[in-house]
Amino acid sequence: MNLHHSRALLATALLPVALTAACGSSDNESSSAAENPSSASEAGLAIVSTVAPITSIVANIAGDKASISGVVPEGTNSHTFEPPPQVSSVMEDADVVFVNGLQLEEPTFELAEQNAPEDATIIKLGDEVLPEEDYLYDFSFPEEDGKPNPHLWTDPTYAIKYADVIKDTLVERDSENAAYYEENHEKFVAKATALSDALKADQATIPAGQKQLLTYHDAYAYFAKTYGWEVIGAVQPSNFEDPQPKEIARIIDQVRERQVPVIFGSEVFPSKVLEQIAKETGARYEDTLRDDDLPGKPGDSEHSWLGLMRYDYVTMIKGLGGTTDALDALDVTDVAPDKADYPQ
């Protein structure tokens, strides 16, 4: 897919919007910007982001005032992803690059550093919002490898912090649209807060002692800490291979001992190992959790960070015997038009 192409198209489509804005405004800056073809307010900021949940949060804030190119295709292993050569030309045109950081997408970050223009803003969101003393290490992300668990966006309180940094960056780089970004940010924070509240209400329906997660991919460590869940194990080793038989045997013992009713696989990392653990322990195997592959296809109303997290929380809570009335009732549509490019 030619990411470049969609950006050019989008810039053209945005032109009438920018002109209308300039006409409706009495301030001189808007009209002088309209005469300057290189101005961000006319062509829109060119934003590059990495995994789909981050692209979606960026799209909620930037709406139709910027072009947004996601780089990591949905459904791929973002932890080992090597960007193809054409991504360097996307970086060459970038005004702003958002990566998760915490060493999730180092090759993509390096490509940005090498190819983005001198004045581009490159932001590692996770590094901005998470103090080092709060880094979490575990079986899948061992401290001796020096790479902390990078999955902050599965926790709404951190997703809101990402949105804060994204809004501040866009306001700084494109001040003429500041009011638009601030309004979208406010609406997004309200929806993320509603998601968090619904999660708290519904997780209270899980039978006592059962707020425990055994997952394949280890994407819920920060979420668990914030919302009082216990991650009793993540099966996937740090090299993303299947675990050793000794480790599998240990997990089987643990599932039996704790009478874990359901174990959660990852849609992005299908694994026979969890199937085997389920078979030997009698636990149910739920294989559809997803950490960076948004539900549906681009353009669908659930294809968003909000839709992704609602889906995961509902899957976890129902799997563990709870009910999800509050989460089911949520409106998870985006707060602004999502024109981002999501490679598939």
Are the beta carbons of 339 and 1 closer than 8 angstroms? no
Question: What are the distances in angstroms from CA 279 to CA 125, 227, 255, 275?
Answer: 40, 30, 11, 6
Closest distance to Zn ion from the beta carbon of 308 (Å): 12
Of 21, 53, 46, the residue nearest 34 (C-alpha): 21
Interface residue with Zn ion among 93, 155, 286, 291 (CB under 5 A) is: 291
State which residue, 74 or 291, has the beta carbon closest to Zn ion.
Answer: 291
Strands 45-49 and 66-70, by their bridges, are parallel
Positions in 165-204 near Zn ion (CB under 5 A): none
- How many residues does the structure list for the chain? 344
Part of the chain binding Zn ion (CB under 5 A), chosen from 40-48, 58-66, 157-165, 283-291: 283-291
Sequence-ordered alpha helix ranges (H) in the chain: 3-23, 28-35, 40-43, 52-62, 87-92, 106-115, 125-129, 156-173, 178-203, 221-227, 245-258, 272-281, 305-319, 325-328
State which residue, 286 or 291, has the beta carbon closest to Zn ion.
Answer: 291
Closest distance to Zn ion from the beta carbon of 218 (Å): 8
State which residue, 30 or 304, has the beta carbon closest to Zn ion.
Answer: 304
Part of the chain binding Zn ion (CB under 5 A), chosen from 81-89, 165-173, 192-200, 287-295: 287-295
Closest distance to Zn ion from the beta carbon of 42 (Å): 37
Distance (Å, rounded) from C-alpha 319 to C-alpha 261?
8
Part of the chain binding Zn ion (CB under 5 A), chosen from 43-51, 245-253, 275-283, 286-294: 286-294
Q: Which amino acid is at 196?
A: S
Closest distance to Zn ion from the beta carbon of 152 (Å): 11
Residue nearest to Zn ion (CB): 291
Of 49, 64, 63, the residue nearest 14 (C-alpha): 64
State which residue, 168 or 287, has the beta carbon closest to Zn ion.
Answer: 287
State which residue, 219 or 309, has the beta carbon closest to Zn ion.
Answer: 219
Distance (Å, rounded) from C-alpha 81 to C-alpha 99?
13
Strands 121-124 and 212-215, by their bridges, are unpaired
Closest distance to Zn ion from the beta carbon of 180 (Å): 32
Q: Helix 3-23 to helix 28-35 angle, to the nearest 10 degrees?
A: 140
Tokens of 39: 């101005």
In the stretch 206-225, what mask flags binding to Zn ion with x, by CB under 5 A? -------------x------
Closest distance to Zn ion from the beta carbon of 217 (Å): 6
In the stretch 219-258, what mask flags binding to Zn ion with x, by CB under 5 A? x---------------------------------------
| Count of residues in contact with Zn ion, rule CB under 5 A | 2
Distance (Å, rounded) from C-alpha 255 to C-alpha 214?
8
Are the beta carbons of 81 and 111 closer than 8 angstroms? no
* 105 touching Zn ion, by CB under 5 A: no
SS3 of the chain: helix, strand, coil, percent, to 5: 50, 10, 40
Part of the chain binding Zn ion (CB under 5 A), chosen from 17-25, 170-178, 222-230, 291-299: 291-299
State which residue, 93 or 291, has the beta carbon closest to Zn ion.
Answer: 291
State which residue, 189 or 221, has the beta carbon closest to Zn ion.
Answer: 221
In the stretch 129-168, what mask flags binding to Zn ion with x, by CB under 5 A? ----------------------------------------
Residue found by looking up tokens 């709406």 in the block: 63
State which residue, 20 or 240, has the beta carbon closest to Zn ion.
Answer: 240
State which residue, 93 or 242, has the beta carbon closest to Zn ion.
Answer: 242
From the number of C-beta atoms within 10 Å of its C-beta (0-12, 13-18, 19+), residue 297 rates as exposed
The site for Zn ion (CB under 5 A) is made up of 219, 291
